[in-house]
Each structure stands twice: as C-alpha cells, then as structure tokens.
Amino acid sequence: MFKKNLLYLSLFASLPAWSANVLINPGFEAPNNGNGWVAYGASYPINATTEAAHGGSQSALISGRTATYMGVAQNILDKLQAGRGHDLRVWVRTRQDVSATYSLGIKLVDASGTKYLSLDSRTVAPGKWVKLGGYYRHSPTGTATLAQLYVNGPAVGVEFFVDDASLEPPVAYAPTGAATDFVRASGRKLVVGAAATPIRLLGTNFFAYGDEGETAESVLGGKKFDQEDYALAKQAGMNVVRLNAWYLLFEDNAAPYVYKQEGWDWLNKQIVWARNAGVRIILDMHAPQCGFQGPDYAGTFWSAGNGAGSCQDRLKALWTEIARRYKDEPTIASYDLLNEPKPANQAQWTALAQTLVNAIRSQDSRHLAQVESCFANDCMTPPLVSDGNVLYDFHNYDHWLHSSQLSYGGDLGDSNMRYGDRTSMALPWSWDTTTGTLLENTPIPTGTSAWAWYEGKRFAINNAGVIAAVPVFIATTNTGKVTFDDFQIREYDPAGVLVRVVQNIDMEKAPANVYLLENHDPFQSFTGLTTTQRLSGTTGGKVIETTGHSGSASVSISNANGKYLVKMPKLTFSVRQGYSYQISGWIKGTSATGGTGAMGIQLQNNKSYVTPTAYDKAYLEQSLLDYGFQFSLDHNVPINISEFGQSRRNYTADRGGQAWMSDTLDLMAKYGASGQNWDWHSTQWGLYGNLYGYPDPDYVNQAVADLFRAQNAGQ
C-alpha cells in the first residue's frame, strides 16, 4: 500500500524553477562541471560524472578521501545576508552497496573563532538519493572571514555522489493577482474569478508548529515539508495546503506585539512556493499564544493570559498585522482563526471569533475568515458570526476509536471496528456504556511456576446489549503473586473458524518520546495505561515489573484478597453478535494461592438510549451532517473539514481505512464541502510515513493520493 510510484517520482524532473538558488554550479552540469566547489579538508579534485545524477545528467563524485571529515564544499560568505535566514539543501547517494551516514553543515570563521554548525545528518541506504537540508541564520560574531557549506561523513573508502545543492536567501515577495482571484463565499459555495466559478478546496495539512517550551527553529529547520512538496501536493490532485502556523514564528513571549522579520520571511516563502506550484494556502493559527488547544487543553488562553499580555489580545493583534500585510495576496485562500479552540462554552468562542473577524476586516475585506467548531461541552457545530465572507469548519475523525487505532498518538490498540462491514458496530464512547459480565479463563495452578502460555476459553457473544469487551488480568484470593505478559485476542465466526487476531500485545513501557519511533510495534507500551478495579472488599496491589516473558516489562498482582482486576480500557475492542472471542497469554505464579490468576475479558453494554449502529457509509453521512453539513444547509453557508483522516495502519482491506476515505470524499462532494486531509508527513497519519528527513516517496500512501486526484479531476 505504501509503495513508491514512478509517475509520482517523475515529478522531480518537472518541478517549477526555484530561481533563488545562489550557489555556483549547483548541479555539476557541463561545461562548468565542478567549478566553484572545493575539496573539504583535503586537496583532491571535484570531478563531475554521468555515472549517476539526481537531476540533469551529471553529479559530483567524491572519492580519494583519507578521513571521514573530508568531503566537498563551496564558499558562501558573499552569498549570506546578515541577520537573515537561509535554506540549504543537497542530495547525496552512496556509490557502493553500503549504507553510509552523511552530514551537511557550515564552517564559519568569525571574531569568536572557528565553528562547525551541523544542519543535518542522515544515514542513507545504498542506491538511494536522499536530500539533506537545514536552516541557517547568519549572525556572526564581529566580522566573518569564512563561511563554507560542506558535505562529509562517510567512512574512509566510501565514495559518494553529490547533486542539486542549493542555498536560498529570503525570497523576494510581492502580492500578485486581481481582486477576483480571491476565493470567496457565495451561499453554500466557494467561488473564484470574475465568472464566480465554484471551487472546493481539497488538500492536506502541512505541519508547522511546536509545543510551548520549543523554539521557532523546530519549524524553521523542520523537515515536514519543503518547496517541492507544494508541487507534489498539486500532483496528488490537491489545490490547497492548510499551513499549520505557530505564533512563536512571529513573536516571542518576552516581547509580545513585537514581530520578527524571520516569521514574515518564512510566510513569504510559503506563499511563493505555493503560488509557483499552483496551489493555495489556508493560513491556520494552529498553536496560538498560550499554547496549542484541543480537547485536553488546560492553559490560560481563555482566562488571565500567561504573564506576557493577554493571549487573546495578542492573537487579535497578530491577525490584524497578518491581514494588513497580506490583504492583496490571493494565494492565501482563507484565515483559519484558531485551531480546535477549547473555551468554557460556545458563547465565549463566538464572542472571540467575532472579535477576530472584526479585527481582520479593519485591514482586509477580501479574504475568507475561517471559523471552526470548538471543544466546549455545548459546541456541536461552528458558531455563526456576523460577516458575509466566512468559511465554517469542523474536524472529522469519526469514529476516533477506529481512525486512530494502532497509533501511539491515540494510545489505542486495534478496536476491531471494520469500516464497511455491517456486522461491525460503531463503538459508543465509554460514558455511553456500562460494565457488564466478567468472563474468566481457567486459573493457573497454585504454587510457583515458570512462564507458560495458557490457552483461553472461547466466549460467545449472544446478547444484543453487548457492544465491546476489555482485556483483563485477574487475581483471586491469592496471597502470593501472579505476573502477566504477552497476550492475544482472537475472533472466531459463528462456525468456529478463526477470523483474525484482533490484538497481539507485548506489555511494555511507553518510550520516552513515541514520536521518535519510525517502525514501531503498535502493540506495545500499554503497561502505564492499565487501570485497576477492586471488587467489593478486595485488596491487593499492581506492579509494573522490570522483566517479562519478552521485552523488559510485565504486570503483576500481589496479595489479592478477593477479586482484583487489572484492566486495559485503551484496548477496548468491538464485538460482533454470534462471534466468539478468546484471550490467551503468558502467565507465571510466585507462591500463588487460592484462585491464583487468569486472563479474561469484561463485557461492555450499551446504555438503554444507545442504538447499535453499523459502522458504514450511512453512519459516516449522519456523523458529517451532525457536525457540520446540516449546519451548512440550514444557514446557507460554505463548510470545510480542515482535518480528517485515518491512521496509516488502517489502510488495509479488512480495517477499511481506504473505503472510509473514499466515502468521506464522496460525501464531501455530495454536500459541496471542502476539506484537508490530516496530514502530509507523519509516521502515524501522513500521506508520507517516514520519520527521518523530508517526505520520502518510498513511504507514500499512493491510495490516498489517487483518491484526491480523482476527486479534483472534475474541478
């Protein structure tokens, strides 16, 4: 599913001409060949070759090195602008059939001495061109006497190719287009041009924000996207990018209301890149002053501020300045005022949204304002504001327990919801269920026993009120200890035939940073997510052990007086009527007594007001109507879904992620809605799933790209 597409890759040969590159002979093409380049740390010649090329017909072959620090360099001091940011890129490939690690950096000599500034480092697989890149702000101490861009790193004896290097200073930005080029609201439609041609904004999200405590450099030097990605989005059938901006790019908390040129340079660059590629930008304030919001937000944005001025006032001022600067720029399709607001109530968000719209209109009458739904308890749809040029917005991952399954961000295992399978019911939220029957396997023997695999019973589901089940570890009147580790949950059809292994869990501790795992096992890291339940009169204790049957963790229960349960609510899975479920796994006993220990499942029942609903297109259509489509119909306003998607592990035939995405796009077309997939580049949700480096075609979800291309073909 996530395979390289040769037509997709061919786009690199036909990208727009990025004219800002100021390097000498960046592609090592004839007749200049290696002119302008020097050996780094040595005196060997820089030779051009036709043996391999990333672009054009030649590259530089670096050979004859006698130390790892040797490589290739170009002097760039006369090309740098003091106090400004620069983008540096270079493509590398190993000549031999080995992996090698490369570094891109700058050697700077100034009044403080010699510094080596590392911009990027990557391990490159054999036979593969890989882009290295980084962001460099030229702020020397005193007078700089040397600045060299360099590439080095592989072991002595490893030869490599270098091609398509670039050094780009801040772009020369100026708005373009006529007044009619702005996307604007017309009833439930968006239109553009003198003929008011209907347009739907279909695209993706470019991740460009961080958490409080991070610095703006995490975005300025980030590798979530690059200039080519705007063109690749166009190639994928998309006409818009929702750019997830961050207030910290534009102002610091230590100096509120004082805007940084570096932020405007960054935004100018995005606009030029998008314009050259033929796509528009939704400028989204994804992380405002006082921090990213969302359903779990507990910051001070909606109260007193953060000691650096009112965050609401600062957001208002920032939007006012953005509107002033970009009022004549039609490449920006809309201003998305605030991502996933979490106010005390809908009225509070309505008042702020109106304030922000009014502030924008004081400078800019032409751009769409974009108003999202909020996460207060009474927020079901976006709030109406008084303005005739508004795009209303909501997010849709419904059902979240399906769309985010097997992703670390969701902390969920396989929910066993299979989109499009009418025997698969949509899981209610936990508050819409009650705890049902506890189904237990045969307990292990008393005494001390080594790790052993215990095959579980098959528990049939023949009660229409049962909707789900939770894996459970059980200790009963056991004064010793029982320890649990790896387990499986299997599903059998009514004839007793194995349908699937629903979950295959290795009880491990969560890594320090789950987002730094590229090829993670999604069935790990749940020891810290367990909860306990002591039935009436029960005592006992749960411990996360530092050893296990496999890996480095397991869960034990000691001194259980009565029935003591360790439950895994994040691993709740949907059950089907007439099917059977079996939990089996590894257990060991230490001086176990009484009822010892066993694995089991605890059933979850629908509350009386919940009607079991098949997880299919009818469910999805009703969900979209509830969250925003009916709002659009009722108020005759345009609607957008600025985030929707499926975790990458859902794109299998049995889980139905691709069918969910196809049906979502079809329903958006039916109701005239715009929308942007979440997201372009991330290991959990991305169209590109690689962790390290820029978006990599070897990790593309081509199925999603094809769906968007088909939707946009008629526009």
The reply to whether 81 falls in a domain is yes
71-121 pLDDT tens trace: 999 999 999 999 999 999 999 999 999 999 999 999 999 999 999 999 999
| Spatial distance between the Cα atoms of 667 and 307, rounded to a whole number of angstroms | 45
| Burial class, 362, CB count within 10 angstroms (exposed 0-12 / middle 13-18 / buried 19+) | exposed
Query: Which of 571, 606, 641 represents a domain boundary (last residue)?
Result: 606
Q: What pLDDT, in 10s, does the model give residues 318-358? A: 999 999 999 999 999 999 999 999 999 999 999 999 999 99
Do 208 and 123 sit in the same domain of this protein? no
- Is the confidence at residue 524, as pLDDT, over 50? no
Of the given ranges (196-200, 279-283, 298-302, 624-628), which has the lowest mean pLDDT?
A: 298-302
What CATH number is associated with residue 29?
A: 2.60.120.260
385 in any annotated domain: yes
DSSP string for residues in 274-291: HHHHT-EEEEEEEE-TT-
| CB within 8 Å of 463: residues ≥ 6 apart | 605
**Which of 121, 137, 168 marks a domain boundary?**
168
Give the pLDDT confidence of 201-225 residue by residue, as tens digits. 999 999 999 988 899 999 999 999 9
> The domain spanning residue 234 has which CATH number?
3.20.20.80
The predicted-structure confidence for 616-644, as pLDDT tens digits, reads as follows 999 999 999 999 999 999 999 999 999 99
Residue 356 located in a structural domain? yes
DSSP 214: B
Statement to judge: residues 248 and 391 lie in one domain: yes
Q: Place 9 in a pLDDT band, splitting at 50, 70 and 90.
A: very low
Q: What is the pLDDT of residue 17?
A: 42
Is a pLDDT exceeding 90 seen at residue 176?
no
Residue 486 has pLDDT above 60, yes or no: yes
Residue 388 lies in a domain: yes
- My answer on whether 568 and 622 are in the same domain is no
3-class SS of residue 318: helix
How many whole angstroms separate alpha carbon 297 and alpha carbon 262? 28
User: Has residue 715 got a pLDDT over 80?
Assistant: no
Say if residue 504 is exposed, middle or buried (CB neighbours under 10 Å; 0-12, 13-18, 19+). Answer: middle
Counting the structural domains of the chain, the total is: 3
Distance CA 314, CA 209 (A): 17
Same domain for 98 and 215, yes or no, is no
Task: Answer whether 0.75 is exceeded by the pTM.
Answer: yes
- The verdict on 269 and 226 lying in the same domain is yes
The domain boundary, picked from 573, 606, 639, lies at: 606
Residues 392 and 355 in one domain: yes
Q: For residue 410, tell me if it sits in a domain.
A: no
- The pLDDT assigned to 8 comes to 41
CA–CA distances in Å: residue 537 to residues 26, 92, 479, 556, 600: 76, 66, 15, 20, 21
| Confidence at residue 713, expressed as pLDDT on a 0 to 100 scale | 64
Q: In the structure encoding, which two tokens stand for residue 636, read together?
A: 């005759």
Domain range for 60 is 21-168
Q: How far apart are CA 35 and CA 18, in angstroms?
A: 21
On whether both 623 and 500 belong to a single domain, the answer is no
Task: Tally Cβ neighbours within 10 Å of residue 375.
Answer: 17
Beta bridge partners of 108: 115, 147
Q: Quote the pLDDT of residue 441.
A: 98
The verdict on 622 and 521 lying in the same domain is no
* H-only helix segments in 625-676: 630-635, 657-671
| Pair (117, 190) in one structural domain | no
Q: In this structure, are 559 and 620 located in the same domain?
A: no
CA atoms within 13 A on the CB side of 249: 25
Q: Report pLDDT for 14.
A: 42
Q: Is residue 415 part of a domain?
A: no
One domain for residues 626 and 484: no
Residue 241 lies in a domain: yes
Walk across the sheet containing 146-152 and list its strands.
38-40, 71-75, 146-152, 100-110, 113-124
Residue 466 and residue 351 share a domain: no
